[in-house]
Amino acid sequence: MGANTPISRRASGTGGFFNVIADRAQEAIAVFDADGVLHYANSSWLKMHGYAHTNEILGKKIAVFHSKEQFAADVLPLLQEIINRGQISGPVGHMHKSGTVVSTNTTMVALKDAAGAVRAIIVYAIDTTEQERLNGEIRNLKVEAEKRMSDLTSTASRLQDRAKELEMVENLLRARGAELESINKQLWQYMSEREQLQEQLQNLRTVLAEKEKEITNLVNQIERQRVEQAKQEHRWKTQYASLTDAIGKLREDIVEMRHQEVEFLDGIDEYPKSVGAKSKLDPEQLKQLSSMAKKFATSG
């Protein structure tokens, strides 16, 4: 699978096992000359970039395996550093033949001659796409977990607040329960008093019924007495009218008697004169006789 070029033979000059070892390695390995031309690629490198045979890529520039953005941002800075440092590692983006991005952790090693000039560059790349995907999922899971933890914390805080509210409500309910128990006792007392009052009311109604009967009897009695009194009053009025008539007649009789008395007295005044003329009494005797006659007339 690997390409056996002069540079690769020089790189594997310590026993000729370079191709065998490199092809069996899990890392993607490629060897480029100082101009960035590919001279060797193992099976993992071919697979990583979507190629089936080395003939498809031998002699290609290193830029073939990267997008323009990846080459400018990742590859060139490493190539510049490797001249000074000889070896460097870091994340480098690669481009699959299909155009998909392949994430790698890449190490570049510079092979230099005795004068220190770079003769070849060995690239070791480990495909971290799946790891990056997993890391992304892990990061997303962490973010989600943090969000959920934040939500749980917020929920726990709300639950604590709710628990406090429920505790307050429970205390209020207990207080209300105590109030209701007191009200219940008062209600039972009220009902007991009400039953007593109802019993007293029933007794009072019985007494009132008896009193009503007594009042009815008394009213009937008063009515009878009133009727009797009316009859008696009628009789009294009748008797009074009769007495009034009798008194009127009596008054008339008295007036008549007084007229008769005046006439009688007048007659008495004349009697002594007539008697004196006949009996020849002196005036003194006649005066005495007249006085005696008046006394007799007005006495008893």
Percent of the chain with pLDDT over 70: 80
Mean pLDDT for the stretch of residues 101-122: 93
Domain-located, residue 1: no
Residues near 70 by Cβ (< 8 Å), separated by ≥ 6? 92, 93, 94, 95, 101
pLDDT at position 3 is 43
Q: Across all residues in the chain, what is the average pLDDT?
A: 82
pLDDT at position 29 is 96
* Contact yes or no for 11/31 (Cβ under 8 A): yes
* Contact yes or no for 32/62 (Cβ under 8 A): yes
Domain CATH number, residue 28 = 3.30.450.20
For the cut 60, the answer to whether the pLDDT of residue 71 exceeds it is: yes
CA distance 220 to 214: 10
For the cut 50, the answer to whether the pLDDT of residue 54 exceeds it is: yes
Task: Identify which has the larger pLDDT, 17 or 22.
Answer: 22
Domain-located, residue 35: yes
Mean pLDDT for the stretch of residues 98-109: 94
Domain that holds residue 36: 6-127
Task: Identify which has the larger pLDDT, 291 or 99.
Answer: 99
pLDDT at position 18 is 52
How many domains does the chain divide into? 1
Mean pLDDT for the stretch of residues 109-114: 92
Confidence of residue 93 (pLDDT cuts 50, 70, 90): very high
Domain-located, residue 275: no
Confidence of residue 119 (pLDDT cuts 50, 70, 90): very high
Work out whether strand 87-95 and strand 38-41 pair parallel, antiparallel, or are unpaired: unpaired
Domain-located, residue 243: no
Domain-located, residue 216: no
Mean pLDDT for the stretch of residues 232-256: 85
Domain-located, residue 18: yes
Q: Which strand ranges, in their side-by-side order, compose the sheet holding 87-95?
A: 38-41, 28-33, 118-127, 101-112, 87-95
Domain-located, residue 270: no
For the cut 70, the answer to whether the pLDDT of residue 290 exceeds it is: no
Angle in degrees, CA 50, 64, 45, rounded to 5: 40
CA distance 65 to 58: 12
* Contact yes or no for 276/290 (Cβ under 8 A): no
For the cut 60, the answer to whether the pLDDT of residue 111 exceeds it is: yes
* Contact yes or no for 125/96 (Cβ under 8 A): no
Angle in degrees, CA 93, 96, 102, rounded to 5: 35
Domain-located, residue 241: no
Q: Nearest Cα to 131, choosing from 157, 103, 154?
A: 103
